Amino acid sequence: MSRTAVLNKTQIIQSAFEIAREKGRSAVTLRELGKRLGKSTAAIYTQYPSIDAIILDLISYINKLVYVSCMEKRTKDKFLNSGIGFLAFVMKNKMIFGDFLLSADEQKNNSKQNTSFYVNLMKQSPITSVLDDDRVLNILENMQIYTYGLATMICSDINPDNDLNFYINKLEQAGKSLIGYHMYSSGKYELALKRLVDKFDVDKKEYI
């Protein structure tokens, strides 16, 4: 096979991801990519002008993988699923978390879009839907801090069993505590309970 055979961007980015996953961001070089793909750097240059351009697409690729993991249905709670999905991704890609997802620049670029998305996701719950946006945002910010803390624990091998259920329980407990606090302090507990009962009745009718 010719070492100058044409590559496509998907092949390059997937290879870049595997390199970053195994060896870290600094290992993603044109030389290492060529070696991994079995091609010359000339073949890579047919698709990308520089390693920086590859890194930009790699970051987008990582964000898409995280999103897919966050959207996977693991429980009935969509917001809880997003936290579990993030931790599940980190558990499989520890170096990616440290080298890319903890980057201040990347967090700044994605923060506004992510915040709006997750606030809307939380508002779909009959419980958190009774809270005003400031309280929902407060819950979100605190849960993000907590989730990143758990992700750091995963990458530090503090819990050597690497059991996802351990972290799921931690997320559930923290979420319930935060939401419970805001329910009572806002005086919206009874309204939230009523909406929860109403939703249960609707779901029951649809099931029957």
Q: Give the pLDDT band of residue 207 (cuts 50, 70, 90).
A: very low
pLDDT at 108 over 80: no
Whole-number pLDDT of residue 115: 82
Looking at the fold, whether 2 and 38 belong to one and the same domain comes out as: yes
Q: Name, in order, each residue with C-beta under 8 angstroms of 87's C-beta and a sequence gap of 6 or more.
A: 147, 150, 151, 154, 164, 167, 168, 171
At residue 45 the predicted structure's pLDDT band, cuts being 50, 70 and 90, is very high
34 and 90 belong to one structural domain: no
Residue 118: per-residue pLDDT = 84
Instruction: Check which CATH number belongs to the domain holding 48 and give it.
Output: 1.10.10.60
What's the domain range around 55? 1-64
**pTM value?**
0.82
> Tell me, what's the pLDDT at 36?
95
Mean pLDDT of the chain: 85
Confidence of residue 172 (pLDDT cuts 50, 70, 90): very high
Are both 106 and 145 inside the same structural domain? yes
Query: What confidence tens digit (pLDDT) does each residue in 2-44 have?
Result: 444 578 999 999 999 999 999 999 999 999 999 999 999 999 9
CA distance 36 to 11: 10
Looking at the structure of the chain, the number of domains it has is: 2
* Number of residues that this document lists for the chain: 208
Question: For 111-152, what is each residue's pLDDT tens digit?
Answer: 556 788 888 888 887 778 788 888 889 999 999 999 999 999
105 or 50, higher pLDDT = 50
Residues 45 and 126 placed together within one structural domain of the fold: no
103 in helix, strand or coil?
coil
pLDDT at 196: 60
Q: Does 116 share its domain with 197? A: yes
pLDDT at position 113 is 61
Q: Cα(84)–Cα(90) distance, rounded to whole angstroms? A: 10
The residue from 16, 43, 64 where one domain ends is 64
For residue 91, pLDDT beyond 80: yes
Tokens of 131: 């809270």
Residue bearing the bigger pLDDT, 53 or 188: 53
